[in-house]
Structure 1
Amino acid sequence: MSPRSQNDRWRTRLGDAALALVTAVGVGAGPAVMGAPPSWHGTFGLGVILGGLLLVRRRRPVLVLVLSATALVGYQSAGLFEGGGVWPLSVALFTAALSRPGWAAAVGTLSLACGLVLQGIDASEALAPGGVELLWLALVSAAASSWRQYGRWRAEHRARLVQLEQTRLVEQRLTISREVHDVVAHTLAVVGVHLNVAVEALDDSPDEARAALHTAIAVRRQAMTDLKAFVGELRDVPQHGLESVPDLVAQAEAAGLDVRYDAEGDPGAVPAAQALTAYRVVQEAVVNTLRHSDAGCLTIRIQARPRALKVTVADDGRSAAGFTEGHGLTGMRERVTALGGTLRVDAGQGFAVRAVLPLADHVTGLVP
């Protein structure tokens, strides 16, 4: 058992002991406050019985209430207690009403009726004392009902917190898997292109083949560094931004593509989340061009405007009509949508990806 659980158990026991003591003293001395003579065998004896029963009220709430009511009626029938038929049972009534409100109301009403009868009060005289006792019974029942509803709300709240935590963990795993996918997919695509170049140029141009192999080795080394960071310490994973897009351009050019890169506005002012998403959009588009297209020209345009960041990546490859989105494009779309943006893929003439990301000042309403 954890120290916190032990502390909670001790607090519960001390609370029960305090309520038992208050009940014993209240029932023992209460009638004396109203002018009735105290009696060690009467009021104080009943107080000890009612207080002692409360020590097990959590395990047997209805049984404790029935035994308490029986003791109260027994003392009243013996003329040893005349202090009331409901208020001495307040704690037992409250505890039983938390789980068995019908039983609590029935036992409380029956105890009140027996008390009035045993005191010899007729119907005309029972209105005042009976009305006060009945009102007290209603207040105790209402308090128990409110506490019961609060307990249910707390349970539902905790369940929602657990569900949110599980959702957060799932989203975190999805984010990590996307990051790993982006790194691995990009690396394999670039390395594959350079290996093909090296194979084709090995006989006719050894220097070109050597340069292609060196580039493939460098890309592979960078990918291993990134993956090691993911596995080793996820919180310290290096996050790319728009400043890393020129590296993608250089890799695409090294693979034989004619790349045109235009950057408008101030990319350095773009928030980190949008900058990372834009980088991943460009990276995935470059991967698709290297993998699935015979394009010779690639255009990358990034427009950092006051209200939105626009990213366009297009190539002049063969038509890709009828294509289906894979994990890369699906992850790209989810990234963009999570930031309140839009993503459009055009596979008519060549392959084009267009993403629009609203900047932080205009998406704060998305944060709960």
Structure 2
Amino acid sequence: MTRSRRVLLLNAALGLLVAWFAWVGAHVVWQDRETGRAPYGGPRYGGPGGGGGPGRRGDEVLWVSDVSWLAVPFLLLLAAGVALRWRWPRAAFVACAVGVGGFFGVTSFFGPVLVALALTVYPMAVTLPLRRWVGLLGLLVPVVLAAHVGETYLGALDPLLYAELVMAVAFAVLPVLVALLRRGRREAVHREREEDRRRTAYEERLRIAREVHDVVGHSLSVVTMQAGVALHVLDKQRAAGEPVSPEVSASLEAIRRSSRDALAELRTTLGMFREPAGEPRAPTAGLDRLDDLVGALRAAGRRIDVVRTPEDLGELPAAVDQAAFRIVQEALTNVVRHAGEARATVRVLRRPDALVVEVADDGPGAPRLEEGNGIRGMRERAASLGGRVDVGPGAGGGLVLHAELPVVAAAQVMPT
């Protein structure tokens, strides 16, 4: 048996128990020995008119009233409300209020039936926002007035009416207070845990930033230094009249420039981890750096064509601009690593609803494409903006990477 079914059965049993107590209580009322009247006026607490016959128990008299069987449907209705209070809280409270009000109208009896109202108010206070159920508490007024249907002005001249109304409201407010206190405590614990989680995540980000800076930053610094030393040696050889290959000089210059730019970008990116919340961030790489990226690769001897019209791209959201540049950067890196001396073509096209990026090469391609971290990273970047990345063989050979980044959907996305 599932947990929801067990809860339903337990609440159904609880609702029937409350209904049974209410039915029994409407039949039995203790009678005062000296006055011969039922306490608190008799008719209200012993059924309509306080009819029935007396019976004796020791020195006290037991009053047995005649209660109409019309009360039974109302008791079953309030029992159903108690049974379904966790599944449909608001509907259960309304059903219970109608059942209690109808029972009061038939029997004019106050007693354990009020417990049903408290039982159905509590789930609303626990599971729903206050604004969605607080207005339903206004049903308590007609519920109490139903017990005074046969009186003048619905008992408005009877001071007991107001005491009963206060009692009914107290029955309803008490579980609300308990629920609100529990909810407040639960939310406070949740906020505390969330703060701990954010603090732990921030500390972990700082640790990763330090590790990346120490490892990658050191390596890039060494590469830059070694390239600078090699260029210095070539300059000395050129000054001494020794033959120097211009391709070697251009390659070393490209290595030094690329490593220096990468080191500067790494420091800028890692610096974001240390910025307090709300502080302005440094500008991130975008398509405005595409020419620098392609120029560095061309200086290293790579053949790369770029097809784009900057004025047609228009104003791009920062997240799309950054993601497009990173996708092109990773795709060209894959061409350099896996496509040999192949020629690459970069196409950037702006459509009304999306930015299309395509990187194709005329290399040998691969019979079986194995996606590594680079392609997965590109897919994740595109997916975070609601876009997609497809990688497959080109019509004339080689590989083609096709990415579509929605512009409208990403307009509200901040770069990460």
TM-score (norm 1): 0.52
Partners of 1:299 and 1:313 within 8 A in 2: yes
Contact 2:356 2:404 in 1 (8 A): yes
The equivalent position to 2:369 in structure 1, one of 323, 340, 344, is: 323
Matched with 2:339 is 293
Distance of aligned partners of 1:102 and 1:237 in 2 relative to their CA distance in 1, 3 Å threshold? farther
Corresponding residue number in structure 2 for 1:263: 308
Q: Look up the match of 1:148.
A: 123
Task: Give the helix-richer structure, 1 or 2.
Answer: 1
What is the distance in 2 between the residues matched to 1:353 and 1:193? Answer: 31
1:214 aligned to which of 231, 256, 260 = 256
Distance in 1 (alpha carbons) for counterparts of 2:276 and 2:328: 23
- How many angstroms apart in 1 are the aligned matches of 2:122 and 2:254? 73
- In structure 2, what is the equivalent of residue 359 of structure 1? 407
Q: Does 1:252 align with 2:297?
A: yes
1:302 Cα shift?
0.5
Q: Distance in 1 between matches of 2:353 and 2:289?
A: 22
Residue identity opposite 2:287 in structure 1: L
Counterparts of 2:285 and 2:299 in 1: how far apart (Å)? 20
The alignment yields a C-alpha RMSD, in angstroms, of 5.0
| Residues 196-240 of structure 1, C-alpha deviations (whole Å, 9 max, x = no match) | 9x9899794474465245324423432332343243228625333
Equivalent pair of 1:345/1:354 in contact (CA under 8 Å): yes
Which residue matches 1:226?
Answer: 268
Query: Which residue of 311, 318, 325 corresponds with 1:279?
Result: 325
Instruction: Tell me what 1:302 maps to.
Output: 348
Asked if structure 2 preserves the Cα contact closer than 8 Å seen for 1:194 and 1:213, the reply is no
Q: Distance in 2 between matches of 1:216 and 1:337?
A: 29
Give the number of equivalent residue pairs: 255
Distance 1:108 1:332 in 2: 68
1:131 aligns with one of 68, 92, 107:
107
CA distance change for structure 1 residues 153 and 291 in 2, over 3 Å: closer, same or farther? Answer: farther
Change (3 A) 1:341 1:361: closer
> Counterpart of 1:51?
none
Contact kept, 8 Å, 1:258 with 1:297, in 2: the verdict is: yes
Partner of 1:9: none
> CA offset at residue 351 of structure 1?
2.3
Q: 1:228 to 1:112 in 2, by over 3 A?
A: same
Q: Runs of 5+ in structure 2 lacking a partner?
A: 1-10, 33-37, 39-45, 53-63, 69-103, 130-182, 238-243
Offset from partner CA, 1:279-318 (integer Å, 9 cap, x none): 1211110121122220342211101122221111112223
Structure 1 residues 120-179: Cα deviation after superposition (integer angstroms, max 9, x where no partner): 842555558872326x75465145314324414567x97xx98xx89x98xx99xx89xx
| Cα distance between partner residues in 1 of 2:268 and 2:22 | 70
Question: What amino acid sits opposite 2:108 in the alignment?
Answer: V
- Structure-2 residue corresponding to 1:90: none
- In structure 2, C-alpha distance between the alignment counterparts of 1:256 and 1:303, rounded to whole Å: 26
Distance 1:314 1:188 in 2: 30
Displacement of 1:106: 6.2
Is contact 1:336-1:342 (8 Å) kept? yes
For residue 346 of structure 1, give the secondary structure of its aligned residue in structure 2. strand
- CA distance in 1 between counterparts of 2:230 and 2:331 reads 25
